[in-house]
Structure 1
Amino acid sequence: MPTTPFIFLASVLVALLALTLLKSPEIYWKLSMDPVIVVGGGLSGLSAAHSVLEHGGKVVLLDKKPALGGNSVKASSGINGAGTESQTRLNISDSPQNFYDDTLKSAGSEHARPNLITALTSNSAPAIEWLINNFGVDLSLVSMLGGHSTPRTHRGTGGAPGWAITSALMKRLAAEEAKSEKRANILKSAKVVKLLQTGDKVTGVEYEDGQGQKVKLAGSVVIATGGFGADFSPAGLIATHRADLMQLPTVNGDHATGDGHVLVTSLPSRSGVLIDMNQVQVHPTGFIDPAQPDAKTKFLAAEALRGVGGLLLKNDGSRFVDEMEKRDLVTAKMWEVIQNGQGPVRLVLGVQAATELKSHCDFYLSKGLMKKFANLQELAESMEVSLTDLHATFTSHKSYASGQEKDPFGKTHFHNSDINIEEPFLVALITPVVHYTMGGVLVDEQAHVLDASGKPIPGLYASGEVIGGVHGKNRLGGSSLLEAVVFGRIAGEMAARSQ
């Protein structure tokens, strides 16, 4: 039996240890749990990291580039949400079910996965409110993009929504890292080269730091590395799954090389699987920079430009498609025009449309991607078409918008269609570009990475463009940022709860 003095001394030591832990959250934090490791510093990885913190965990976020943001910072049309406060304020009637129906139709029956679409659409309004309330992001404006049955794509009054959203999350995570609790750690220029696995469970990562040194970290892992839209290497993912796209330009940053796809499928024990890898979205409107017309990487002409009333014209000044159709259909029509020698295709905006997206257009003008014409006469002369024929295009479009005539291409949503031919026009040359990869890692609605039998791999989650199956054969505009936030939040919560 221990003596009374020994019991007293032991009690004192325990009390001192407890006091030390309470005074040093970092010590307690390190002793209590491993971190959740988030691989990828775009919007999905950032959303996962914040979700981990909100659910009491600690997080280490790694990105192979010197700066965070990924492709998310370039997203320029907005983020979808159904049943939001912004929609209610603007008297827009919408619901998650309507959004589900639009997404299901866009995805196609062969590729649609209802559980993932439900997760995306049912969590859309909470995602919007999370960004507004937790990070102060302005998402007060709502517009309608192609393939949607009602306006539900949110953006603010400032610049590109992708930058506004992603930068807000970056700043907040940097602030969390600076706190004394040290619950967040950001590692840049840190490329994850291997997932660590003990038995069936993923237990951490191995990464290379900026000096080429390999370092191991222990913890559950969220893969948020983005897509493979810039992987044009001879044996890469595009060459393997869509060799017909190898000659196309891309709007993806050079980081989008499918790193997460390779990591997940290279696990030594139970590995993940890839689905729908041949489903690559070719966006109809990438800018042709007159200074670099053959550049492999191009700027995206935001779908919002068509949403506010931009028209697509052949070289003779006539329209050829419903500008508000789904992206895959608009792209197919553009290919027909180009292959029939009726290009280049021009995107044309009147004053009202350009004013509604002034910050976007000012940026495009500053980059030389758009050109301003004083009036329709000047544009007609530049295109070498008659003013009468070009004027007829806009007059007919106005007639379709008023309901006097039916649009021959089936267009039903019109915006800023009342064009004054004596006012300025903004014009850009455009071409189809590799934009988004719908295929990727197989997950369930809780962001668990699944193996070939459909069972979750313990300790491994994925979110954002790296996952497959959410969008089927075609992604709706405004759903990339949404997918990043929704599945990032889910993955972060699930990973934090698993620790």
Structure 2
Amino acid sequence: MRRLTHQYIFRALTVAAISFLAYRLLRRAAMTAPRTIVVGGGLAGLSAAHTALENGAIVVLLDKKPALGGNSVKASSGINGAGTAAQKEQNITDSPEIFYNDTLASARDLARTHLIKALTDHSVPTLEWLTNNFGVDLSLVAQLGGHSVPRTHRGKGGAPGWAMTSALVKKLEAQPERATILKGAKVVKLLREGGRVTGVEYEVGGEKKTEEGSVVIATGGYAADYAEGGYLSQFRPELLAVPTTNGDHATGDGHRLAVSIGGALCDMDQVQVHPTGFVDPKDPSAKTKFLAAEALRGVGGILIDKDGVRFVDELERRDTVTEKMREVAKAGRAPIRLLLNPEAAKTLEAHVGFYKSKGLMREYESAAALAEDAKIPLANLEATFDAQRSYAKGLTQDPFGKTNHTNAVYTLDEPLLVAEMTPVVHYTMGGIVVDEDARVLNTDGTPIPGLFAAGEAIGGVHGRNRLGGSSLLEAVVFGRLAGKSSTAR
């Protein structure tokens, strides 16, 4: 009995010694590990946080709102990838080079080739990271405006932005020993020692606190900065009267932080006005509107004027479609409506169900019912639908140059889903100047040590126009680049 007692005591002491040693080793590792502070809890910030963790860092994520997600949770069309497994399964030929050329053409004279290359070269590994590490479904592929091939990926469920963001939030919250998440915490100052950024000062619960570490700015854009003297007022005052799709957090906070220590900004007048925002029949003058995802047009939706006549290639670049809509409205041919036939609606069943539940999209039993309600000549709708069938069968060419005629057959006796559309301030292409490693540059073009940025907070990636599906891609690509760079010794 005494011998067994001695053995038990010996084993207990051994386990205790090993546990204590492991604790010391873990504590030492934590003390010597790099520390990354991520400012902003949207997809870019979450991607930076996870990548910093993968590279051995201790992470603190700060967001001024009471919930994470930012505008990323609203993104509804998908994420671009060029040369993916999903494309190959659907016999879609694509490559980073083709994607690069499409993005270059969209950016036009403001193209920064090194940033475009970083975006397009990283698209496939980015989608694989989301799928393999977080279980995000990206199996469906659609073609959006300005793309030469279908490359915008989404899953079979709801909005892809929500699917990605919620998956990353869930996994980050499951690592409290290495990742601290602070909500309702607004960063007000970058701390420096010498020329290096060494941390942040932030406000939470009425108190000011500090955190030390490298800093990643991922605070989003300024498409809701309607304040007097704000960025929209400074750079695009004519847009102050245009509604926005952005949450009230998108006020350029990160831009001001970077500028406060000499960081450079670029392309601040480049603000994307998305052509299709929903006009809510219950509140048509609302300043904030739901986005009508470009995917609605990608799967076959068409735009008509008040007389039932098409006026544009629905899959042209966003800036082109917006300009055509403005011309139509100026000519007195508003309201502009988006139409979906049953095949197109079924393809985006989850999206359509959400829009209908919000009262933004109405179903008519036939074209005659729409014509009667909207005072549209039925003969005009018939002519528009006949032309659509002709384009789809290859008998005639679309006068607006449209070549993708997915779900293009519309008939008078089938149900129609209909919604009124208006252009909306959607995305800011301008922002903080970074290099291809997501390092923030000062006004002389050199990196500011310890400071990185990603997502809509950065500028120069898209030039004059952002392609649909590239905002989520930019968030993850540059979020991952920033997270990795922030851990470099």
Q: Compute the TM-score of the two structures, normalised by the length of structure 1.
A: 0.93
Q: Bigger shift: 255-264 or 387-396?
A: 387-396
Offset at residue 56 of structure 1 (A): 1.2
Question: Which residue does 2:10 correspond to in 1?
Answer: none
Correspondence 1:275 to 2:266: yes
Question: Which residue does 2:213 correspond to in 1?
Answer: 219
Partner amino acid, structure 1, of 2:147 = H
Offset at residue 386 of structure 1 (A): 2.1
Offset at residue 25 of structure 1 (A): 6.1
List per-residue Cα deviations over 1:396-429 (Å, max 9, x = no partner): 0221222211111111111101223211100000
Question: Which residue does 1:244 correspond to in 2?
Answer: 238
SS at the partner of 1:166?
helix
Native 8 Å contact 2:264 2:441 kept in 1: yes
List per-residue Cα deviations over 1:339-394 (Å, max 9, x = no partner): 11100000000000001001000100000000100011101111212212111101
Correspondence 1:285 to 2:284: no
Partner amino acid, structure 2, of 1:162 = G
Question: Which residue does 1:143 correspond to in 2?
Answer: 142
Inter-partner Cα distance in structure 1 for 2:19 and 2:86: 48
Partner amino acid, structure 2, of 1:226 = G
Correspondence 1:366 to 2:385: no
Correspondence 1:197 to 2:192: yes
Native 8 Å contact 1:443 1:450 kept in 2: yes
Which of 250, 255, 258 pairs up with 2:252? 258
Alignment of 1:424-435 (within 5 A): 424-435=415-426
Question: Which residue does 2:386 correspond to in 1?
Answer: 395
Question: Which residue does 1:5 correspond to in 2?
Answer: none
Question: Which residue does 2:82 correspond to in 1?
Answer: 82
SS at the partner of 2:168?
helix
Q: Bigger shift: 395-404 or 258-267?
A: 395-404
Partner amino acid, structure 2, of 1:246 = L
Native 8 Å contact 1:447 1:463 kept in 2: yes
Gaps of at least 5 residues in structure 2 are: 1-15
Native 8 Å contact 1:440 1:466 kept in 2: yes
Partner amino acid, structure 2, of 1:329 = T
Native 8 Å contact 1:76 1:160 kept in 2: yes
Partner amino acid, structure 1, of 2:117 = T
Inter-partner Cα distance in structure 1 for 2:482 and 2:18: 32
SS at the partner of 2:28?
helix
Question: Which residue does 1:460 correspond to in 2?
Answer: 451
Question: Which residue does 1:486 correspond to in 2?
Answer: 477
Correspondence 1:327 to 2:342: no
SS at the partner of 2:350?
helix
List per-residue Cα deviations over 1:43-71 (Å, max 9, x = no partner): 00000000011111111110000100000
SS at the partner of 2:241?
coil
Q: Bigger shift: 393-402 or 456-465?
A: 393-402
Inter-partner Cα distance in structure 2 for 1:221 and 1:278: 26
Correspondence 1:102 to 2:133: no
Native 8 Å contact 2:265 2:433 kept in 1: yes
Inter-partner Cα distance in structure 1 for 2:26 and 2:174: 16
Inter-partner Cα distance in structure 1 for 2:242 and 2:248: 15
Native 8 Å contact 1:201 1:457 kept in 2: yes
Partner amino acid, structure 2, of 1:73 = V
Correspondence 1:450 to 2:446: no
Question: Which residue does 2:152 correspond to in 1?
Answer: 153
- CA RMSD, Structure 1 to Structure 2 (Å): 1.3
Native 8 Å contact 2:388 2:410 kept in 1: no
Question: Which residue does 2:22 correspond to in 1?
Answer: 22
Native 8 Å contact 1:317 1:385 kept in 2: yes
Inter-partner Cα distance in structure 1 for 2:24 and 2:385: 69
Change (3 A) 1:188 1:414: same
Offset at residue 155 of structure 1 (A): 0.2
Inter-partner Cα distance in structure 2 for 1:338 and 1:236: 28
Offset at residue 31 of structure 1 (A): 1.9
Question: Which residue does 1:318 correspond to in 2?
Answer: 309
Partner amino acid, structure 2, of 1:197 = R
Question: Which residue does 2:44 correspond to in 1?
Answer: 44
List per-residue Cα deviations over 1:322-352 (Å, max 9, x = no partner): 0000000000000001111100000000000
Alignment of 1:340-419 (within 5 A): 340-419=331-410
Runs of 4+ in structure 1 over 3 Å off? 16-21
Inter-partner Cα distance in structure 1 for 2:198 and 2:308: 59
Correspondence 1:115 to 2:106: no
List per-residue Cα deviations over 1:196-221 (Å, max 9, x = no partner): 01121100000001x11000111000
Q: How many residues align?
A: 474
Inter-partner Cα distance in structure 2 for 1:25 and 1:279: 50
Correspondence 1:471 to 2:470: no
Partner amino acid, structure 2, of 1:194 = K
Native 8 Å contact 1:222 1:491 kept in 2: yes
Change (3 A) 1:21 1:233: farther
Q: Bigger shift: 409-418 or 434-443?
A: 409-418
List per-residue Cα deviations over 1:136-161 (Å, max 9, x = no partner): 00000000000000000000000000
